[in-house]
């Protein structure tokens, strides 16, 4: 007997939920932030830029990601996505401190400017979206992904990057709403804040 329309709709809903959870995991802000400096360094400076980008990623994004993962393992944090807003203060503070320290190290080592600017964009995200999320759970998923697209658009042809990036951010925002971790307004606000802070940082420093 063929599936009823109700069963078919339920299966579609389950598939949509699985896809949303996968998108949420793959595009976690920590992962996107870790990938950004090496990608930008490679595209702008070649293999040497990749090496500098890996160092910047380890210092500025890897340390906060490790702190969050340890908190999840110890049961102090709900997940790497920090679903509970009240649990975000400590990791955000650590993240901002890590980026400031990482920027200082990169400056002392005379890292390529584009890698340092990538780290500065991370700092701007923390300083702008961090205080907001303590009062209203703005989406770091959409913010970091949107801001990363803006940064990449400075080192490669911007139109395809922004088109693909815009589509990805829309899907990520849908996924965050689908898994009930954010409202549509929080997802849109995150994308707007991430884009604006990245653009402003690039305009000032590049």
Task: Flag whether pLDDT at 1 surpasses 60.
Answer: no
What is the rounded distance in angstroms from the CA atom of residue 177 to the CA atom of residue 145? Answer: 16
pTM exceeding 0.75: yes
| Residue 21: other Cβ atoms inside 10 A | 13
Max Cα distance, the chain (Å): 70
State the pLDDT at residue 13: 76
State the pLDDT at residue 88: 86
Q: Which residue has the higher pLDDT, 174 or 6?
A: 174
The full set of domain ranges for the chain reads 20-205
Provide, rounded to the nearest whole percent, the portion of the chain with pLDDT above 90: 79
What is the rounded distance in angstroms from the CA atom of residue 31 to the CA atom of residue 29? Answer: 5
Q: Which residue has the higher pLDDT, 124 or 14?
A: 124
Listed range (2-16, 74-88, 126-140, 159-173) with the worst mean pLDDT: 2-16
Tens of pLDDT, residue by residue over 114-137, are 999 999 999 999 999 999 998 999
Residue 81 confidence class, pLDDT cut points 50, 70, 90: confident
What is the 3-state secondary structure of 40-59?
HHHHHHCHHHHHHHHHHHHH
State the pLDDT at residue 21: 94
| Overall average pLDDT of the 82-99 stretch | 88
The DSSP annotation for 55-117 comes to HHHIIIIIHHHHHHHHHHHTTSSS-TT--SGGGSHHHHHHHHHHHHHHHHHHHHTT--HHHHH
Task: Reduce the DSSP state of residue 17 to 3 states and report it.
Answer: helix
| Overall average pLDDT of the 184-190 stretch | 98
Tens of pLDDT, residue by residue over 33-60, are 999 999 999 999 999 999 999 999 999 9
Asked if 197 and 124 count as a contact pair (C-beta separation under 8 A), the reply is yes
What is the 3-state secondary structure of 128-168?
HHHHHHHHCCCCHHHHHHHHHHHHHCCCCCHHHHHHHHHHH
């Amino acid at each position: 007997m063929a599936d009823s329309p109700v069963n078919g709709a339920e299966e579609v809903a389950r598939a949509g939920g699985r896809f949303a959870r996968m998108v949420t995991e793959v595009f976690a802000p920590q992962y996107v932030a870790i990938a950004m400096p090496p990608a930008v360094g490679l595209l702008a400076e070649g293999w040497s830029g990749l090496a500098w980008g890996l160092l910047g990623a380890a210092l500025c994004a890897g340390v906060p990601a490790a702190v969050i993962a340890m908190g999840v393992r110890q049961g102090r944090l709900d997940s790497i996505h920090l679903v509970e807003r009240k649990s975000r203060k400590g990791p955000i503070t650590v993240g901002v401190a890590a980026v400031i320290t990482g920027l200082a190290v990169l400056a002392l080592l005379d890292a390529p400017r584009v890698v340092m600017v990538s780290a500065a964009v991370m700092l701007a995200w923390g300083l702008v979206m961090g205080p907001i999320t303590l009062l209203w759970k703005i989406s770091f998923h959409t913010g970091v992904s949107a801001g990363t697209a803006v940064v990449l658009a400075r080192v490669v042809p911007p139109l395809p990057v922004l088109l693909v990036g815009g589509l990805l951010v829309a899907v990520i925002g849908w996924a965050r709403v689908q898994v009930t971790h954010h409202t549509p307004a929080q997802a849109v606000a995150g994308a707007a804040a991430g884009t604006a802070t990245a653009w402003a940082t690039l305009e000032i420093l590049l």
